[in-house]
Structures are given as C-alpha cells and as structure tokens.
Structure 1
Amino acid sequence: MDLKGVVALVTGGNGGLGQRICHALAQEGAHIAVVYARSRDQAESVASELASRHHIKAQAFACDLTDGAAVDRLVGEVTKAFGRLDVLVNDAAYNHAIPFDDLDNLTQEVWDKIMAINLTGPMRLTKAVAPVMKVQGQGRIINIASVAGLSPTGSSIAYAVSKAGLIHLTRCMAVALAPETLVNCVAPGLLDGTRATANLRSEQIERSASASLLKKPADKDDCADMVVAMCRTETMTGQTVVIDSGRIFH
C-alpha cells in the first residue's frame, strides 16, 4: 500500500515508541491521528511537530481505550477530521511490575486493568475500524505486542498473558478481515526510553539486555520501520516479527 496521503491512527502516539512510529509513517506521507489517554499537551506537541516537520496533517485525539463508546467515538472523530482511515497501530499499553512468584500482588484489579488496555482495547479498536477499511477496500492493522507474549517473561504474568493474547488476536483478525485488511504484529524486546521500560525493576532491565545476543536493548527505530513495512506489504498477514537484539526465537 502506498502510504502517501493515507490516514494512520496510532494509539499511545505520544509515548516513546509511539512517537517514533508516528514520525516513520509521516515521513512516508501519511497523515497521523495521535491518540493519547491523559497527556494532552504532549500529544498536541507531537502532532504539531509531525505536521511541521513532514508537511502532513496531524491531530491529537483523547480516548479511554477501556470505554467501548469512547473507542467508537474516536473512530468517528478521526474519519470525520481526515475523511478516511487506512492504518491502525495499536501501540498503547500498560504494565505493572510484579514478580511471577508474587501471586498475592497479582490482584484482580491489576489483572483487569492490564487486560482492558493491552488486549480488549486493541480488539475494540480493530472491530471499530474494520467496517471503514472494508468499505475503502484496503486497510492495515499493526499490533505492538512484546516478546513477553512468546515466552514466560516480562514485567508480570498479566502483562505476558495480555501480549500473548494480542499476538493470537493478530492471527484471528487476519482471518476475519481478509482480504481487504491485513493484520500483523511487532513484538519488541527491551526498549530504552519507553514508559513500559520505566515501570520495570532495574535488575530486569539489566538482565534483559545482557541476555540478548547483541548485548543491548532493541531499537525503537527498527520497530517503527517494521510498522512501515507492514503497512506497505500486499501479501503478509497474520504474522508476528520479533525485534529484541536476539533473545527469543520463534
């Protein structure tokens, strides 16, 4: 798919990885809807920078991804503002570091919040954009998961299970939305400069980097470039690509 003039909705677009994804898509000529949960000023600053640097249209939109009605309103607002919607990047996520053996602190409240944002939110957005993309005859959905979804690791059991669910949701939605909409997934390893990493314990960060073949965190730009490639592809769907400096092989 030619990205010049398409419209991309990026959740968590004001985050560390989300900003890189927004810029990578805008550099290819895509217009960007920067979706945020709370940080309005930051999201509007990102949208302003995207527009001025890449000469595209960009606008910030607030949305609580745990609210189904808010998700439906978001898709309506974006399509009204831009006239179409071609790409959805489900990048927004929440984590809370809890050692796997600390089951007492894996409360129902923590579990429900992680699942609501990391798995149910992308499902709701995918369902909301699917009819728009079907009518247009084209669409791309890219989910941002984690290597924690491929191996029993990560910040908590709830986070790992939510990302495993997102990876399988990618496969299932690829089946459901073919042939008009292609659905793929990027599974990063440890990334510097993201909110998810900031929530990890220092020993987790050190252990993750040292355990990789390349002995360093994964690169956010590599992840953003893969999102662009998944938007361009015409024959790849239902796939998960790992970018983690060589830790997980699947």
Structure 2
Amino acid sequence: MHLDLNADVGESFGVWTLGDDAAVLDVVTSANVACGFHAGDPLTLRTTCAYAAERGVVVGAQVGYRDLAGFGRRFVDVPPDALAADVIYQLGALSAMAHVAGTRVAYVKPHGALYNAIVHHEAQAQAVVDAVVAVDTSLPILGLPGSVVLARAMAAGLRAVSEAFADRAYLPDGRLVPRTEPGAVLHGAEEVAARVRRLALEGVVTAVDGTDVEVRAESVCIHGDTPGAVEMARAVRRELEAAGVEIRAFAG
C-alpha cells in the first residue's frame, strides 16, 4: 500500500511570507508550486523549485486564475481560450524555474477556485485539459475524484490522479465544504492524521453530517498555508508509516 503526500508551496510574494516551504518539503513527496498567477513571485518560484530538487520532492505546477488579490480563491468567468492560454503560460514559467533548479514539472494541479470550478464546469475543465495536452501529454492532472476535469483528462489520453484533502472538511456528496463556511479547514494535527490513516486503509472520510464518504485517492494534500501545516504534515506521515503505508510520489 502506498500514498503520495502533496502540499501547496511557493505562495509567498515579495516581502510577504506564507508558510514554511523548506520544512514542509522535508515531509511531503510532491510539491504543488504556485506559478505566479494566484501567488508566488519569480524568486519565490525559483527558490521553491530548488528546495524541492534538493530534497528529491517531485514538482507540480499549481495553475490558477489570474487573481493575486484574491489568492485565486474567487471564481473568474474567463473564456475557455483565455484560460487555456493562461495555463500554458503558467506551465512555461514554472518549467523554466524548475529546469534552472535541476528538476522538472512532472504534473499539474489546479488551484483554489479553479480547482473547485472544474469539478463541474465543463468548458473550463476542457480548457485546462487542452492546455496540458498542448504542452506535454505525459503530465498527469491531479484533481477531485469524480470531477469533470479528471474525466476529460482521461478522455484526452492524460493520466488522471485522484486526490483527497487532509485538512479540509467534506460534504456528503464528496465535494469540499466551501472555505466561506465554518469548519471548512481542519487544524488538529492528530485528528487530521487519524483521518488520513482511515482514508488510506478504508477509503473513506467522515463528512460534516457524520456520514462516511468513499474517497479513493492516490495523493493526499496538506495546505502549506494552513496554520500548523508542518506539524500536521509530520503527524500524517508518522501515522501512515506506522500503519505500513509507503509514502511515495505518484509522478516523477
């Protein structure tokens, strides 16, 4: 039994530092590196790719809406052709930074509002898939189980990788509780670790209404900007390894 641990990193901007990327990258196996549209400046992206390369962590492009002010967590009704071009642009930027750091972009994970939109938004999901196909058909797309984007990815011949979230609450239908609602983000390291252990061993998580939701995933995300993210990541890894789960990257 094996599982990938991924984290959102590279989201600092100028004088504003968000998260402890170096410490998080000591724990996870995949790094969702911001590409400058929702967060991250060029030096941050380059430094984060270097951190990942030094630790043998696989680099993924965390593409998002062009929304620095909203941290990419606001839906943007961007036309599909423009969205595809934005994704291609972000992949190109991060690929250059990864190359300079001695590594490469090995997968794609949409960020924030874009991630949630393409669970059901047909046109934007197809735009993301079209962009990845145009750049490199060997790149997997990481997304929510049952999402439109993963179905479109498979139809286009891309590898579709299902993801679960360690620190996010779930609705009974398997979607994430919106961040605008209370309890959407979980903070207790031991609680989260036990939750991920059950996810790995049983393929279920407990939804906000107390019911069990089936979630089959190859990778588990821990948000780098969540308070206590480093402690949480360490607790999750300890719990999984104690349960006999091998922690390894899904791509690379």
When normalised by structure 1's length, the TM-score is 0.40
Larger helix proportion, structure 1 or 2?
A: 1
Higher relative contact order (CA 8 A, sep 6+): 2
When normalised by structure 2's length, the TM-score is 0.40
